[in-house]
A and B are shown apart, each in its own frame.
Chain A
């Protein structure tokens, strides 16, 4: 069981958790993620590690309510526990001095991009970050990203903050202004990553994306997270999650991510009827296990 030390909403529907996970905190490197299961009947889902504190033995997760599991998770508070957290998973980001790096963070993807951005900055790169979201309220980690970027550009779809438009508009502008770009890192919704890949492909700018397909074990055992890379199957959990964007078949990724849409809708509808009852089940189960664990572990 993994104790939640702190939990706070940082944007509507987006919550940051500080979780006690000693082993993961010690080993986390930028670009890696965890898989969690909330309770005995829960599914296993991959989530972003926003940062780790090896001294305190904690990791931060940034979670956007999307389906039943994330909605349920975002009802949990400090003092609650999560049944299973495993990680850090995936290959760490490649960190070296590339020159000028553009980091594109879309929505909650910014949380995954943040530790890699910080590491790229520390490695001596000139970092230009572009954050985008639907509206002002959904721009996250603006201050943190600003601290590790040489310049920070922001776009919102509705124009409620900074510049109205898409992250790719900004990227275009940068490229057209003659800025030499050695590497682009894009983390966000799949259509955004696909659009970024399309923009940089023409100029042959090396572009890395961090993929988040449906996963179960996260150790390379099930192959559910396979993505088409140069038309061959690779596993996001062990071969990724970062891949060369120009080799990824994004349409297949979008198609595979929709595989359980019907079941997800059903789960969600059932959850929304009585969210507090579901929360009660999770809390009761974990309390019972907590009592047991004192004896067993």
Chain B
């Protein structure tokens, strides 16, 4: 880590003083209140609090925050602009590298990226970079007139983006700024992919996504819903009949995995994707005002199986739908959980019961096809496995039955096959994900690029955005030179 510099700083606080300022608390709805509603948990910084937090930045000469950011947000520079009180300039600075700041400010695992490398974090507590990004993005939303966004001079090149999730939106934003005509195809009826169907309102309000998408429309990006590429139109037809010069595939790792244990077909057993889609995309929690139904969870025992963000999103949604008991069943220990630190904290505050080192081995039935519980097994940690995490090993004789009305399986996803199976020449790996170069995102097909979960398997919003950025860069290069 390089020593901090002070030259030319807009920050009135001397370096020594900065470390004495505590990390500014993010105001949030009280756990008891928020466990009964779907409104956002975090309430956001005020202008004063944001500036005070920003002043904590040590302005490192080689800032790890930017180096560790998959899209390379110039953190030090935007934070300085927050200190200076020029919030719109701060937003513009973030937008140079990140077209979805209001989203990443809310859902990024900052501890793994910008805040993880923050020098302040090594000394006291890291700078609240996510909170500041969120503040700046929300300020921009309230104060910027998007009708005045300048558009780049058209290049006459057309790019199709397949999928409107984080990687697709990021690629679209970067490409439209270069003057390319960008058309985004989405299979569902709303734009945003996993941001819309997967992440609940209390963590990422739909309104925020709509605003960020409106900003992209103002930049000139075109959106078309109800197009399942591979079925409604193929990649080859997009190239040959609709004359797209390049294609980016960002279809995500949509297909939910099941555990292959007895009873998974029982009524009451959901995949996390289905459970969350019913709630988020289809508003089943507003039944019967909305028509999509959901099993009544009021007073019921609900468990989610898994330890990632999706698992926590599902179980916290169940709690908000009135679940009497809400469990997380995770086969490893809390240290191995992949969920964002803040979500684990929030979930615990809300009263979610974490049963770690526990895995179901069978779902139990009432004899009429309805779930009544899960037979579980306790685990202990053995040697590290291929993921580097310690492998859970069953403890003999530790089986017990947990009564449940609903179980939600959130153990990950696999590759959705639609695009791959309808695009000749597109190479895939043995797990069905698309082969794409790690730095250029090029696939085996000329002019076709891919990135995000459909290449890597399930990852995070920000990693998918990083892939979208890399793809945009090499698509632009390809369109400029024609070289493959």
| Chain A residue at minimal CB-CB distance from B278 | A216
CA distance A88 to B233 in the complex (A): 9
Is residue B381 within 8 Å, beta carbon to beta carbon, of the partner chain?
Answer: no
Question: A12-20, A144-152, A176-184, A260-268: which one contacts chain B?
Answer: A260-268
B232/A86 in contact, CB under 8 A: yes
A114 to B355, CA, bound (A): 52
Task: Determine if B418 and A238 form an interchain contact, defined as CB atoms under 8 angstroms apart.
Answer: yes
User: Of residues 10 to 55 in A, which have CB atoms within 8 Å of B's CB atoms?
Assistant: 23-24, 27, 32, 37, 41-44
> Which residues of chain A have C-beta atoms less than 8 A from B92's C-beta?
none
User: Which of B169-177, B203-211, B291-299, B344-352 lies at the binding interface?
Assistant: B291-299
- Asked if B274 and A223 make an inter-chain contact with CB atoms under 8 angstroms apart, the answer reads yes
Given contacts A43-B293, A233-B265, A263-B294, contact A224 B232 (CB under 8 A): no
Interface 1/0 per residue, A239-265 and B, CB below 8 Å: 000000000010010011011101110
- B273 adjacent to chain A (CB < 8 Å): yes
Q: For residue A86, which residue of chain B has the nearest CB?
A: B226
Contacts A87-B231, A221-B255 given; does A263 touch B271 at CB 8 Å: no
A270 and B291 alpha carbons, distance in the complex (Å): 11
Docked complex: B244-299 residues within 8 A CB-CB of A: 254-256, 258, 260, 264-265, 267, 270-271, 273-274, 277-278, 281-283, 287-296
B-chain residues with CB within 8 Å of residue A255 when the two chains form the complex? 265, 267, 368-369
Please tell me if A138 contacts chain B, counting CB pairs below 8 Å.
Answer: no
Given contacts A219-B418, A220-B416, A224-B274, contact A267 B293 (CB under 8 A): yes
Minimal beta-carbon separation of B167 from chain A (angstroms): 16
Tell whether A238 pairs with B416 under 8 Å between CB atoms, given A221-B197, A228-B265, A258-B267: yes
- Closest B residue to A24 by beta carbon equals B232
Flag whether A163 is at the interface (Cβ < 8 A). Answer: no
Cβ < 8 Å to A, chain B residues 49-84: none
Q: Could you tell me if A267 and B288 are in contact, using CB atoms closer than 8 angstroms?
A: yes
Contacting pair A89 B274 (CB below 8 A): no
B232 lies within 8 A of A23 (CB): yes
Cβ of A76 < 8 Å from any Cβ of B? Answer: no
Complex CA gap A69/B273 in Å reads 23
**Secondary structure of the A contact surface, majority rule:** mixed
* Residue in contact with A221 in the complex, picked from B277, B293, B295, CB distance below 8 Å: B277
Q: Are A85's CB and B295's CB within 8 A?
A: no
Q: Does B46 contact A (CB under 8 A)?
A: no
Identify which of B187, B260, B417 gathers the most chain A CB atoms within 10 Å of its CB: B187
Chain B CB within 8 A of A68 CB: yes
- Is there a chain A Cβ closer than 8 Å to B228's Cβ? yes
B189 CB within 8 Å of chain A: yes
- Using Cβ atoms and an 8 Å threshold, which residues of chain A touch B283? 41
B228, B258, B264, B277: which contacts A216 (Cβ < 8 A)? B277
B232:A37 contact, CB within 8 angstroms: no
Candidate in A44, A221, A238 with the most chain B CB atoms within 10 angstroms: A221
Q: Is B273 in contact with A41, judged by CB distance below 8 angstroms?
A: no
- 11 A-B residue pairs with CB within 8 Å: A42-B290, A84-B225, A89-B231, A216-B282, A219-B187, A219-B188, A221-B277, A256-B267, A259-B267, A260-B295, A264-B293
Task: Give the B-binding residues of A (Cβ under 8 A).
Answer: 23-24, 27, 32, 37, 41-44, 68-69, 83-89, 216-224, 226, 228, 232-233, 235, 238, 249, 252, 255-256, 258-260, 262-264, 266-267, 270, 296
